[in-house]
Amino acid sequence: MKKPFCVWKDVYLVGSAELTHPSDCSVYLVNCEDLVLIDAGAGLSFEGLVTNMESLGFDSNKLTTVIVTHAHIDHIGSLWQLREKFGAKIIAHELDAEAIESGVGTGAEFYGVPYHPCPVDIKLKGSEDSLRYGPRELKVLHIPGHTPGSIAVYVDMGRRVLFGQDVHGPYFLPSANPAQAKASL
C-alpha cells in the first residue's frame, strides 16, 4: 500500500483504493485548524483513515466535519464511525441526504459492503454554498447528474484545489441523469 501525502499546502490524500481499501474513493483531509474530510471511503477502512491522518502528524480528535460529495457507498461508508468516534458533523446536499440516512440507493450491494445509515447534520440546499473553517472558506457547488445531490467542493489557497469526486460518472446507475451531468459540468 502507498502512503498518505500532501497534495497542496494543507490538503492531504488520506484514503483511496491504493491507500486504504480497494473499494474506497479518494478521501481528502483539509487542515483548516480544525480538520475537515472530503468523503469517507466505503467503510472497511475507518482505522486506516485514522492511522493515515495521525501518520501525517494530525490529531484525529480535531476532526470536526465530513463533507460528502454524494451518497454512494465508496464515499459514505465510514461516516457513522467518524461521527460516533469524533463527533464529526456530516454535511451533504439535501437531495442525497435521504440515501445517506436510510441506506437506500447507496450502491452498497454493488460493492458487497454493508452500510450503516448515518444522520446528516447539515443539509445543503440550492446550487452554491460557503463553509468557513478557521482561515479557510470551502465553496460548495451543486452538480447534479451522477446523483441528484452530487456536489463539488473547492478551496483557494494560493491555487484553487477542486474536489470533483465522480464527475466522470458512471451515469448508468438508477439515480444518474446524464443530461443533468452534462449541464452541471
Q: Tell me the domain boundaries of the chain.
A: 5-184
Q: Is the peptide bond before 178 cis (omega within 30 degrees of 0)?
A: no
Give the model's pLDDT for residue 72: 96
Q: What's the CA angle centered on 105, arms 25 and 125, to 5 degrees? A: 80
Q: Rounded distance, CA 41 to CA 77, Å?
A: 6
142 DSSP β-pair partners: 151
Task: Please indicate, yes or no, whether the overall pTM of this predicted structure exceeds 0.85.
Answer: yes
The CATH superfamily label for domain 5-184 reads Ribonuclease Z/Hydroxyacylglutathione hydrolase-like (3.60.15.10)
Burial degree of 160 (CB within 10 A; 0-12, 13-18, 19+):
exposed
Q: Which of 50, 55, 41 is nearest to 115 (CA)?
A: 41
- Residue 24 is placed in which grid cell? 474506497
Give the model's pLDDT for residue 78: 98
* Close Cβ partners of 55 (under 8 Å, ≥ 6 residues apart): 3, 4
Query: Which residues of the chain have a pLDDT value below 70?
Result: 1
Give the model's pLDDT for residue 1: 63
